[in-house]
Amino acid sequence: MSHDAGAPANGTAARIVEPIRGTLDAEVTLPGSKSITNRALITAALAEGVTTLSGVGLSDDTRAMIGALSLVGVETEIAPDETTLTVHGVGKGLRSPERELDANMSGTSARFLLPVLGLIGSGTLTGHEQMRARPMATLCQALTDLGAVVDGESLPIAVSAPVTGDSVSIDASVSSQFISALLLAAPLFPNGLKLTLTGTPVSTPYVSMTIAVMESFGASVQGEDRDSGQVITVSPTGYSAIEYEVEPDASTATYPLAAAAIVGGRVRVNGLGSNSLQGDAAFAERVLVPMGARAFVDEGSIEVRGNGLLDPVGVDLGDMSDTAPTFAALAAKADGVSSVTGIGFIRTTKESDRVQGSVDELNRIGVAATVDEDGFTVTGGVHQNATVQTYEDHRMAMAFALVGLTGGPVTIHDPSCVGKTFPGFWELLDELRATARTTPRVLAIDGPAGSGKSTIAKRLAERLRLPHLDTGAMYRAVTYAVLKAGVHLDAADQVGQAAVDAEIIMRANTVVVNGENVTTAIREAEVTAAVSVVAANPEVRRVLVDAQRAWATRRGGAVIEGRDIGTAVFPDAELKVYLNASVEERARRRAAETGEGDIAAMAKAIAERDHLDMTRETDPLMVADDAVEIDSTAMTVDDVVGRVADIWAHGDDGQQGQQGQQGQ
């Protein structure tokens, strides 16, 4: 759980985040993107007429933008649910503010509002002490080059004459927010804008996001590449009032999605998907998948399934730099050395130095980390409980809270700083914790050799978005280890010890035994001939049953196939299916798979294997009392998959034991 830990010496409350027991099984709906919301607020303010923004995230940053816009004549109404804003745009009818505009700690508000003052030709912009330390000089110089009179290079900044020009160059290597700020105001510049980008651009997806929002409100934006750099041209069309839906915040989504990878289980974020305007929406596929998690992305959702085991990786996060602290938390949990590059620019452009801060806080909790020229390197390991400093930076607080979800607690200093973008973060963490399962959801598929278990299980796993475990492959892997060690199959004790000693790793399409990829080798004739004998060994079965239970438990659920899954390994499985087919049909299937021409011989071998499996002393093949029996002799793969998937989703129709008749 997470709970307040009272007030430390400086008087600021702290919060202890304790490990989650079990694996996650959650679907979450997140607040709207702060980045999109503030862009949409500017465009709606500069449009003529009434705009409705739905799905907004009403954070401290958004409130700062609303408050500042009210001082230049833009009225905004907040609906009771605080997710819908009605904006009364004034177009070119902006008024001179009677007092300073306060961006508070909001970088987007500060950067986006300054060109608005450039449209008016008067006004002063200020902000929190933290914001005053963040760079603004590049944007001030661009506005000066466009004819505005700007006094100051950091907040507070005063504007005393409007923009008159229509062409300017800007260094794109400092912050994408400067580019977005100029673009957002450009449709109201007297003659539009031709903006030339120099230097190596950073966070380019945010510029694409800006242009997409602008175009939704009727702006005309054209881009081209020239030798001098990328040129973006904006026509002086103004904006039109519309109804606009803000998608969930992709940067915020990295926290619950990363939690699934760290803790294990499943987290699905609804409303954010493959059509997202936000570059950070790619975090699951670009970071979590290489670290060993599985991601499912469609138009309406992003789902991550993890097993609590993370592989070390090296990534370039230059175009999704807000996720760097999240990566730090993940790297702390990975088994090895991870590194991130491409983020050196965030040391001076964000709420805090997130490179040095991430390294300092990892070291504080006992995880080795170093600052690199353009990022940082982390050696994952066991952490200790310490009070993580957050530097008034919401992303540092939310990211380092993830570390405490497994292994041991951590204490977060100044937890209220999350209100800058996600006031409900701590409630979200509690909601995730409430979904934790200590027993996995298992779909158990048993049956004799050649009944189609592997094909059906793989298809079901894909359809149901569940991990798939081929326990037969595990027994084959042990058999391979026994044969490789030269152990005689009659030496039961030595066979059992070989199972104890073997290091078996089961991944999506790969089987590794003692560091050797044996995915193909375990299907060869020598292994096939010996696997029944090895599988009958009580010690082998004990070792692998424990391994199978641990494998599924770490993942929170799975489709698992074998010969004793519903009877011995997972007797409390959520659904048990016994899949069968006639010996002749199974022989034909196996012959088609192996290329064997003598089907009669194949049928004889299968019958013998059935006898061994059904008569072995330990955990023989049998039909569980509560299993759904399906005879697939005359059924297609799609028929079987559809039938089982329907039962999984809606429950059995009371026809247990009669499925064989339906399949005839």
| Domain boundaries 441-662, CATH class | alpha beta
Confidence at residue 592, expressed as pLDDT on a 0 to 100 scale: 82
Q: Is it true that the peptide bond before 156 is cis, omega within 30 degrees of 0?
A: yes
Give the residue from 474, 478, 469 showing the smallest Cα distance to 553. 469
Q: Which residues pair with 223 in a beta bridge?
A: 232
What is the token pair recorded at 16? 């202890």
Q: What is the DSSP string of 339-352?
A: EEES-TTHHHHSSS
> Residue 248 is encoded by which pair of tokens?
């969930």
Where do we find the tokens 């997972």? 570
Residue 237: burial class (beta carbons within 10 Å; 0-12, 13-18, 19+) = middle
Say which CATH topology domain 2-31+248-434 has: UDP-n-acetylglucosamine1-carboxyvinyl-transferase; Chain (3.65.10)
How far, in Å, CA of 487 to CA of 482, rounded? 6
Q: What is the CATH number of domain 34-245?
A: 3.65.10.10
Distance CA 173, CA 588 (A): 64
* 3 state SS of 569: helix
Q: Contact, 537 vs 492, CB < 8 A?
A: yes
Report whether pLDDT(658) > 60. no
Taking phi over 0 as left and psi of -120 to 50 as alpha, with beta for the rest, 50 belongs to beta
Per the model's pLDDT, the better-predicted residue between 115 and 589 turns out to be 115
Average pLDDT over residues 486-494: 95
pLDDT of 325-378, one tens digit each?
A: 999 999 999 999 999 999 999 998 888 999 999 999 999 999 999 999 999 999
Listed by start position, the domains of the chain span 2-31+248-434, 34-245, 441-662
Query: What angle in degrees, to the nearest 10, is found between the helix axes of 538-555 and 525-535?
Result: 100
Quick one: DSSP state of residue 519? T
Query: Within 13 Å of residue 96, how many CA atoms lie on the same side as its CB?
Result: 9
For residue 263, name the pLDDT band (cuts at 50, 70, 90). very high
Spatial separation of the C-alpha atoms in residues 629 and 577, rounded to whole Å: 6
In angstroms, the Cα distances linking 80 to 244, 423, 424 are: 18, 16, 17
Residue type, 457: A
- What would the 3-class secondary structure string for 45-113 be? HHEEEEEEEECCCCCHHHHHHHHHHHCCCCEEEECCCCCEEEEEEECCCCCCCCCCEECCCCHHHHHHH
List, for residues 499-540, the tens digit of each pLDDT value: 999 999 987 778 999 999 999 999 999 999 999 899 999 999
SS3 232: strand
Looking at residue 8, its pLDDT comes to 42
Q: Which residues contact 299 (CB under 8 A, 6 or more apart)?
A: 273, 274, 275
- Percent of the chain at pLDDT exceeding 70: 95
Structure tokens at 476: 């084959």
Write the DSSP assignment of 460-518 as a string of letters: HHHHHT--EEEHHHHHHHHHHHHHHTT--TT-HHHHHHHHHH--EEE-SS-EEETTEE-
- Asked if residue 664 has pLDDT above 60, the reply is no
Q: Quick check: do 2-31+248-434 and 34-245 share a fold?
A: yes
**Does position 653 have pLDDT exceeding 80, yes or no?**
no
pLDDT at 599: 87
Q: How many CB atoms are located within 10 Å of the residue 182 CB?
A: 27
Q: Is 366 left (phi over 0), alpha (psi -120 to 50) or beta?
A: left
Three-state DSSP class for residue 259: helix
Residue with structure tokens 């903006």?
Answer: 195
Token couple for 564:
């004793």
pLDDT digit string, tens, across residues 373-408: 999 999 999 999 999 999 999 999 999 999 999 999
Report the alpha-carbon distance of residue 354 to residue 400 in Å, rounded. Answer: 12
Buried b / exposed e over 22-61, threshold 16 CB at 10 Å, is bbbbbebebbbbbbbbbbbbbbbbbbeeebbbebbbbbbb
In 556-631, which residue ranges form alpha helices assigned H by DSSP? 583-594, 599-615
- CB-based contact 244:33 (threshold 8 Å): no
- Residue closest to 557 by CA, chosen among 449, 466, 460, 621: 466
Supply φ then ψ for residue 562, to 5 degrees.
Answer: 170, -150
With contact defined as beta carbons under 8 Å apart, do 440 and 556 qualify? yes
> Any residues with CB less than 8 A from the CB of 222 and at least 6 apart, and which?
232, 233, 234, 235
What is the set of active-site residues?
322
Q: In this predicted structure, what is the pLDDT of residue 2?
A: 67
Please check whether residue 352 is in contact with residue 325, taking contact to mean a CB–CB distance below 8 angstroms.
no
Q: What is the pTM of this model?
A: 0.86
Task: Render pLDDT for 164-206 as a digit per residue (tens, 0 to 9).
Answer: 999 999 999 989 999 999 999 999 999 999 999 999 888 999 9
